[in-house]
Structure 1
Amino acid sequence: MITKISINNLAVFKEFDWDKEVVDALGHICTFKSINVIYGRNYSGKTSLSRILRAMETGELSDKYQNPSFLVKFADGSKSNHNSLISHGRKIRVFNEDFVRDNLRFITNPDDSIEPFAILGDDNNKIEKEIEALESELGSNEGGKETGLYAQQVAANTEFKNASHEYKKANDALEKQLGDKATDRSIGIKYKPERFGDQNYNIQKLRTDIEKVLNASYRPPNEMQLAQFEKLITEKTLLPIPPFRRPSLNIKSLADNTEALVTKKISESDKIEELIKDAVVNRWVNDGRAHHKGKRANCAFCGNPISEDRWAKLEKHFDEESEKLEKDICSLISKIDTEKNMVNSVLSINKALFYSNFHEKLDELTEQLKDTVKKYGEYLDMLNTQLRDRKDDILNQKKFRHPGDTSADLEAVWSSYEMLCGESDSFSNTLSSEQTKAKNALRLQEVSDFLITIRFQEQFSSIKILKNKWDDSEREKSCLDGDIRQKIESISSKKRELNDEEKGAKKVNEYLNNFFGHQFLSLEASKNEVAGEDPKRIRFEVIRDGKKAYHLSEGECSLLAFCYFLAKLSDIDTKDSKPIIWIDDPISSLDGNHIFFVFSLLNAEIVSNGRFEQLFVSTHNLDFLKYLKRLNGKFLDTDGKQKDYQKGYFVVVRQHNTSIIRVMPKYLKEYVTEFNYLFHEIHKCAAINSIDDTNYTTFYNFGNNARKFFEVYLYYKYPDQGMTEETLRHFFGEEKIPTVLTDRINNEYSHLCGVFERGATPVEVPEMQTAARQIIERLKEDKDQFSALLKSIGIAEEDKVEI
């Protein structure tokens, strides 16, 4: 049983998700039931829904849809979609316009006929004898007592199974040996990558190696070559050495800056002579200034007061120029220390990154590195010493002593290191290539020895013989299977010839006469007289007064098509089964009596007889909807008890250019007249606060809905006149504006009123809502009726629209 349908990009259905849209008032997801009633206005998408089931019946979906997709879910958890139309395995029968077009072609082409179908025919002695002969050739298919072709089939199956078993046994044994050699943890080549070079080795690669070994061009390595390979593969391939980033040496700029500071001259004006002559005392006095200025009036050393004059002389002595020189010296000392630390740490030689044949050179280079780093450090220390000397005697310029520059020696050591890195990396490339060749040679030698050990050639030849025997038995089995299948199909074909297509026509006539009393039309089966076609083929034709009928009315076509569909449920392909049945709007162009008869026929022939697994009926007609709510039937459950069919009610709603399925609202499910529905649409139009894509259709359809509402309402209020300008004025009283406005909307927006451009312009929503609210306001004057109308659409009195 179908539970849900989700649809995307199929006609008016765009991204319709069942679980999001088909929910009850509490938000619970609803599903299809055994009997499903679907209501929808014309062009809402009912026929598009039926075409999904039709495609699941015929296996074909219209190629006019662009990139359509749908997903149909069943109660047992299985699914069907646009890519697997008939894989569901269920019997489905759909009545819609496509069914009518495919089977009743005379409706569109009066000279064409109706597709015949067979129910049950009379015996034919000749055909029965042919069937008996075929069945005799087939023999008995009873288990253990087979005869004829079935006995031969049993023997062929036994031979096939034995040959298959022998072949698979021998082949599996060889496959097991090959698989173990390829991937077994103890003996497998895969788990010895250090020797054979492939840690992703598998049985497919082993087969490739076997082909190479068995090739006439293969030459195994000698003992000397094997020894060379063994030695070569022990060398481990190292990772590329991280690149050495050579820093920039700043020795020249540091020396030049040192020379400038050491030799810089300080102005001697306003200097204290005794402090200039004694650098130690000068430093002592300068340090004392920091401890006394602004803190003591007397000298902390001698206890004597420090005069303002003395302070002035000291300030002139220790001026801004000397303080700046001292700061520059300290800053340069810090830069020299940073340079020294950088040179000490920039390179640390790790022999583990190099192959052993480079280690001796690395030892020599390490010593050179230590020596040059030491000399470079000593050079920097000499610069620092001169700077500190000047700092201690800041007032007296010094003579700069230039040490020897060792930066070139350090650069040479770094260059040697970079050269060794390059040589080591190059050696890695060569080693990897040579090791790969050696490991390949060792692996092929291993495979060659393995083939000799398991006697591969002997096993392979034996398996080939068994395979040929298996193939022969399979061909024999297939030949017999095909012969039996052909004879079974021939028997089925001949049995179909026993079926009578004339009874299909009689069944249609039975429905036409018994349920509709339509004795003027009938269906007649006649042999084909069309040139070039099979003369034995039966044709169904519509007959009126003994002659082929032409120019059938739409109502007659609808009656005939529906009776044909119900009669076809008794054909040989459907009889005694319970299909999923989908009936799409079967009452087109029928009057009230015929609508009731269609319902009666549907109820008596399908529902009451339980001739379905699941039933779907869709309609746009509220009168037919009223009858469909009476569909009732019972079925026997697994315990043999009678139970009522569960029924589901749904609506197909079109919102502008998109349709969705929803649970049928309570007022439509419980109240059946269109009058209730039309009142509800007007009430919604009056109540909406803001217009968006979800409610725009209420305004779009307002003209039709209001016109039809007034046609019903005013007819019962003024049965002698119905809806006229006069009765509209009576309805609205003395107010002329709502009368004129409503009349304009009813005419212009429901009929376009002869103005083609009206259909191409947007709907004036304010006018719609104004008219809707005027109608509601006028209806309120009859309190009893207005309250009843509200209740009929499920709205409480306190929730009514306030104008």
Structure 2
Amino acid sequence: MFKKIKRIKNVAVYSDFDWDASVRESGGRISEFKGINIIYGRNYSGKTTLSRIFRSLETGFISDKYISPKFEFELSAGGVVNQDQIPLKQHKVRVFNEDFVRENLKFISNADESIKSFAILGEDNNRLEEEIKLKEEALGSEEDGVGKLGVEKEKKLALGVARKNAQDAQDSLDSKISDKANNKNTGIKHNKIYGEATYNAPKLLKDVETVLDDGFECVSDDESLNLEALLKEEVKAEIDRFYFFEPSFDKLSSRAKDLVEKKISVTQPLIELLEDNLLEDWVRKGRALHEHKRDDCGFCGGALPSGLWSKLDLHFNKESEELRISISSLLFDLQNEIKRAADVPKIDVSSFYASFRVEVLSAEVELNSTLNNYRKSLEKLGAALDARLADIFHPKVYFDVEDYSEVVVAIGEDLNGVVSKSNEFTKTLATEKNKAQKCLRLRDVFRFVMDINLGGEKAKIIALNTCSDDAEREWRESKLEVDVLVRELDKLKAQLKDESKGADRVNVYLNDFFGHKALSLKSEEVETGYKFEVVRNGVKAHHLSEGECSLIAFCYFMAKLHDVETKGHKPVIYIDDPISSLDSNHIFFIFGLINSEIVRSGEFGQLFVSTHNLDFLKYLKRLIPKDVSGKAEERRYFIIETSGDVSSIKLMPGYLKSYVTEFNYLFHQIFKCANAGDAPAESEHDCYYNYGNNARKFLEAFLYYKYPNADEKDSTKLERFFGDDSRSSLLTERIHNEYSHLAGVFERSISPVDVPEMKRSAQFILNKMKEKDADQYSAFMESIGNPVVTF
């Protein structure tokens, strides 16, 4: 509840009130509000203004007549509430003051107006109330976390967490997908290789479905390089077919075999030459240089023998020479074949598209290797022929040599096949590029799927969504239980709500507490609901007295504490001076109503009652509420004091709190005047301004009890009291007449107060009381706390 009003500023008479500086006990400790708080203040001291500050916590509005009003309440549970935080949300506040009366009981100022109606919970159906109580306990409180509302709150919080977890996981995956599709640096959309300027997240999801299909095969790294190269390709010129020589190895080999193995006969061979191939070769070559050319030897110069040429003709016969010529011819053909194999045109790999270059290069390498082997086989044939040529008269064994002709032809055909494919590829280049882009894009998507573990991400999201669905189902079931219970409660409360019962309760208070049998409220149903009217003996009442208006207004307020918005909430209740224009009996009944309906019932959180009436204050001291342990709660008594035009709240003096008589109060005011300084502080001015009235009233009561005759105008009482001290008597009488009555001497109201005269008069009165009756004087001093006397 409320601990204190820390400060009030710019609110009528509270210009700059500071609680901690003003509300202190005798030891200096700062006092605080308690469960019951009684506030005393004279008329116009600021009681209603204080009630308006409290009522702003209820209505959320404070008068616009105040300029920049500021106030701050400190709460017992911690924290503060100021003018910017009204109305108060955490506590119900109900205030009775003239503003409440003006707003709710307009008939007081206008007889044609009615009274605002309200609905209360009927008290005639204990069964319904008990059922409502049980259901409310089952419903519980969301704030306290108990009952079905507490369970629903817990389920709702769990649902929020589950939904957030599922949404966060989905958002994370969506972010990755969106980033992969659209990122300016790494997104597929901005990768020129893929040619997908309109690519987006939905297209990426379709590609994801493709790569997750069982039949999908991702291209390898090497393949991706070829595809990237393909995308760089421009349309190439048509490639001519390769025209290789037709290998003649088979024919050449057959001829070589015949010549190497051929047998020839010699007519009259020269043994030396047959046995010496070098010599025979030397002779054969020398014969060509000498026959028919010279008669002597070109080597030694000796004469050539006669018959030499005939002898040699018999050795080098026609058959051997023809064989020699045939071998030489074949050797020439072999050289031509070797040259043909060496002169195969180079392959221009750059004329092929990148996708065919590996195949072309591979064929080229194989071709070169095969042609090299082919030449070696030809050379082997040549070597066999050279060996026979060197030994022309002796046949040789022929060893078969491997023939590479078919391989050469096959490679040529393969190369021309690649040429055909390359030329054909030109026609489908655009289509192939599209295929390459798709393959590369899907390869990128596949790697993305693997990198983020898409399967695991989806499985996680499915699991989280399942948890979310389960949490939502549990929450809906819990909410359904709450809704059913709330509907049942509303139905039960609807059976109890009855605006006519509001008027009945007001009548109970009027009749039972105040005995007004004739005066009552009548409820009348209208289009907008109900209205209340005051009736006397069944007829609409007019010309109500001020006292009757006050009674009806307060009974209305007390009944309204049972309305459907207040009952059961233990509100903070502030009652401002409810006994205006009431006699002593009614004052007691007002107290009785507060005591029985509020205090003893315990249906309040904190109670504030302010009054200017000392009789009512006397009754209020009997308000003793008890807490749940049965221990009487502590009360606090406060007084509102005015100095000039500024008011402040202080702790009530002991004599006023303990004795509750104006007699003690007046004595205290005289004592304060007698002990004030010659140049009084501003806080002491009011004791001088009010001294005339205070002293007159005190002496009238004091002298009546001391000299109890029936003559109120007996002027000898003052003289008898002061005795021989006529000076004190005359001074006191003068101050009474001049400062407590302004009629006929208006100038006195605008003249400065004569402080020394008043101070001397107050001292005369106190000294004479002490002299006449020391025991009574001592009792008075004790009632005001035995302050120090300074005169």
What TM-score bracket applies, with the shorter chain setting the length? 0.5 to 0.7
Report the Cα distance in structure 2 between the residues aligned to 1:754 and 1:173, rounded to whole angstroms.
96
Amino acid at match of 1:663: L
Structure ID, larger Rg: 2
Does residue 696 in structure 1 map to residue 697 in structure 2? no
What is residue 619 of structure 2 aligned with on the other side?
627
Structure 1 residues 792, 491: CA separation in 2 closer, same or farther (over 3 Å shift)? closer
Does residue 652 in structure 1 map to residue 640 in structure 2? yes
Report the Cα distance in structure 2 between the residues aligned to 1:563 and 1:548, rounded to whole angstroms.
18
What stretches of structure 2 of length at least 5 have no aligned partner? 126-141, 193-444, 470-474
What is residue 107 of structure 1 aligned with on the other side?
108
Q: Give the Å deviation of 1:721.
A: 2.0
What is residue 780 of structure 2 aligned with on the other side?
789
What is residue 760 of structure 2 aligned with on the other side?
770
Report the Cα distance in structure 1 between the residues aligned to 2:713 and 2:191, rounded to whole angstroms.
104
User: Residue deviations 1:506-558, cap 9 Å, x none?
Assistant: 21111122222222321111234xxxxxx242111111233222222222222
Asked if the contact 1:714/1:723 (under 8 Å) is kept, the reply is: no
Task: Give the match's secondary structure for 1:582.
Answer: strand
What is residue 589 of structure 1 aligned with on the other side?
581
Task: Give the match's secondary structure for 1:67.
Answer: coil
Q: Give the Å deviation of 1:684.
A: 0.7
Asked if the contact 1:718/1:727 (under 8 Å) is kept, the reply is: no
Q: Give the Å deviation of 1:155.
A: 13
Does residue 3 in structure 1 map to residue 3 in structure 2? yes
What is residue 703 of structure 2 aligned with on the other side?
714
Asked if the contact 2:117/2:531 (under 8 Å) is kept, the reply is: yes
Structure 1 residues 748, 560: CA separation in 2 closer, same or farther (over 3 Å shift)? farther
Amino acid at match of 1:715: Y
Task: Give the match's secondary structure for 1:563.
Answer: helix
Amino acid at match of 2:596: A
Q: Give the Å deviation of 1:561.
A: 1.6
Structure 1 residues 154, 24: CA separation in 2 closer, same or farther (over 3 Å shift)? closer
TM-score normalised per structure 2: 0.55
Q: Give the Å deviation of 1:731.
A: 3.8
Amino acid at match of 1:671: Y
User: Residue deviations 1:141-182, cap 9 Å, x none?
Assistant: 9x9xx9xxx99x99999998776544322435788999xxxx
Counterparts of 1:385-784 in structure 2, within 5 Å, are 492=490, 496=494, 499-528=497-526, 535-637=527-629, 642-689=630-677, 690-716=679-705, 717-722=707-712, 725-733=715-723, 737-783=727-773, 784=775
Amino acid at match of 1:762: P
Asked if the contact 2:38/2:638 (under 8 Å) is kept, the reply is: yes
Asked if the contact 1:685/1:768 (under 8 Å) is kept, the reply is: yes
Asked if the contact 1:790/1:800 (under 8 Å) is kept, the reply is: no
Structure 1 residues 702, 541: CA separation in 2 closer, same or farther (over 3 Å shift)? same
Report the Cα distance in structure 2 between the residues aligned to 1:27 and 1:174, rounded to whole angstroms.
67
Report the Cα distance in structure 2 between the residues aligned to 1:494 and 1:755, rounded to whole angstroms.
71
Asked if the contact 1:119/1:504 (under 8 Å) is kept, the reply is: yes
Report the Cα distance in structure 2 between the residues aligned to 1:666 and 1:160, rounded to whole angstroms.
59
Q: Give the Å deviation of 1:685.
A: 0.1
Structure 1 residues 73, 751: CA separation in 2 closer, same or farther (over 3 Å shift)? same
Q: Give the Å deviation of 1:92.
A: 1.7
What is residue 348 of structure 2 aligned with on the other side?
none
Q: Give the Å deviation of 1:574.
A: 1.9
Report the Cα distance in structure 2 between the residues aligned to 1:615 and 1:115, rounded to whole angstroms.
24
Amino acid at match of 1:620: H
Asked if the contact 1:706/1:746 (under 8 Å) is kept, the reply is: yes
Asked if the contact 2:688/2:758 (under 8 Å) is kept, the reply is: yes
Asked if the contact 1:121/1:501 (under 8 Å) is kept, the reply is: no
Asked if the contact 1:119/1:503 (under 8 Å) is kept, the reply is: yes
Report the Cα distance in structure 2 between the residues aligned to 1:154 and 1:704, rounded to whole angstroms.
68
Report the Cα distance in structure 2 between the residues aligned to 1:177 and 1:751, rounded to whole angstroms.
95
Q: What's the % identity of the aligned pairs?
A: 48
Task: Give the match's secondary structure for 1:16.
Answer: strand
Structure 1 residues 762, 526: CA separation in 2 closer, same or farther (over 3 Å shift)? farther
Report the Cα distance in structure 2 between the residues aligned to 1:99 and 1:17, rounded to whole angstroms.
27
Report the Cα distance in structure 2 between the residues aligned to 1:7 and 1:51, rounded to whole angstroms.
15
Report the Cα distance in structure 2 between the residues aligned to 1:167 and 1:498, rounded to whole angstroms.
46
Amino acid at match of 1:5: I
TM-score normalised per structure 1: 0.54
User: Residue deviations 1:695-742, cap 9 Å, x none?
Assistant: 222112212212221332233334412256454444444555544543
Q: Give the Å deviation of 1:754.
A: 4.6
Report the Cα distance in structure 1 between the residues aligned to 2:573 and 2:634, rounded to whole angstroms.
15
Asked if the contact 1:7/1:13 (under 8 Å) is kept, the reply is: no
User: Residue deviations 1:286-318, cap 9 Å, x none?
Assistant: xxxxxxxxxxxxxxxxxxxxxxxxxxxxxxxxx
Task: Give the match's secondary structure for 1:24.
Answer: coil
Asked if the contact 1:79/1:88 (under 8 Å) is kept, the reply is: no
Report the Cα distance in structure 2 between the residues aligned to 1:674 and 1:658, rounded to whole angstroms.
23
Structure 1 residues 608, 729: CA separation in 2 closer, same or farther (over 3 Å shift)? same
Asked if the contact 1:6/1:72 (under 8 Å) is kept, the reply is: yes
Structure 1 residues 95, 602: CA separation in 2 closer, same or farther (over 3 Å shift)? same
Asked if the contact 2:60/2:88 (under 8 Å) is kept, the reply is: no
Q: Give the Å deviation of 1:562.
A: 1.5
Structure 1 residues 548, 167: CA separation in 2 closer, same or farther (over 3 Å shift)? same
Counterparts of 1:307-456 in structure 2, within 5 Å, are none
What is residue 83 of structure 1 aligned with on the other side?
84
Structure 1 residues 548, 707: CA separation in 2 closer, same or farther (over 3 Å shift)? farther
Report the Cα distance in structure 2 between the residues aligned to 1:62 and 1:705, rounded to whole angstroms.
34
- The count of corresponding residues between Structure 1 and Structure 2 is 505
Amino acid at match of 1:567: A
What is residue 53 of structure 1 aligned with on the other side?
54
Task: Give the match's secondary structure for 1:94.
Answer: strand
User: Residue deviations 1:327-380, cap 9 Å, x none?
Assistant: xxxxxxxxxxxxxxxxxxxxxxxxxxxxxxxxxxxxxxxxxxxxxxxxxxxxxx
Q: Give the Å deviation of 1:60.
A: 1.8
User: Residue deviations 1:442-467, cap 9 Å, x none?
Assistant: xxxxxxxxx9x989xx99xx99xx9x
Q: Give the Å deviation of 1:636.
A: 1.6
What is residue 256 of structure 2 aligned with on the other side?
none
Asked if the contact 1:707/1:746 (under 8 Å) is kept, the reply is: yes
What stretches of structure 1 of length at least 5 have no aligned partner? 125-140, 179-205, 220-450, 529-534
Task: Give the match's secondary structure for 2:169.
Answer: helix
Instruction: Provide the aligned C-alpha RMSD in A.
Output: 4.9
Structure 1 residues 520, 154: CA separation in 2 closer, same or farther (over 3 Å shift)? closer
Report the Cα distance in structure 2 between the residues aligned to 1:785 and 1:35, rounded to whole angstroms.
33
Q: Give the Å deviation of 1:674.
A: 0.3
Q: Give the Å deviation of 1:112.
A: 1.1
Report the Cα distance in structure 2 between the residues aligned to 1:71 and 1:83, rounded to whole angstroms.
9
Asked if the contact 1:584/1:618 (under 8 Å) is kept, the reply is: yes
Report the Cα distance in structure 1 between the residues aligned to 2:98 and 2:39, rounded to whole angstroms.
17
Task: Give the match's secondary structure for 2:771.
Answer: coil
Asked if the contact 1:655/1:696 (under 8 Å) is kept, the reply is: yes
Task: Give the match's secondary structure for 2:563.
Answer: coil
Q: Give the Å deviation of 1:692.
A: 0.9
Task: Give the match's secondary structure for 1:715.
Answer: helix
What is residue 217 of structure 2 aligned with on the other side?
none
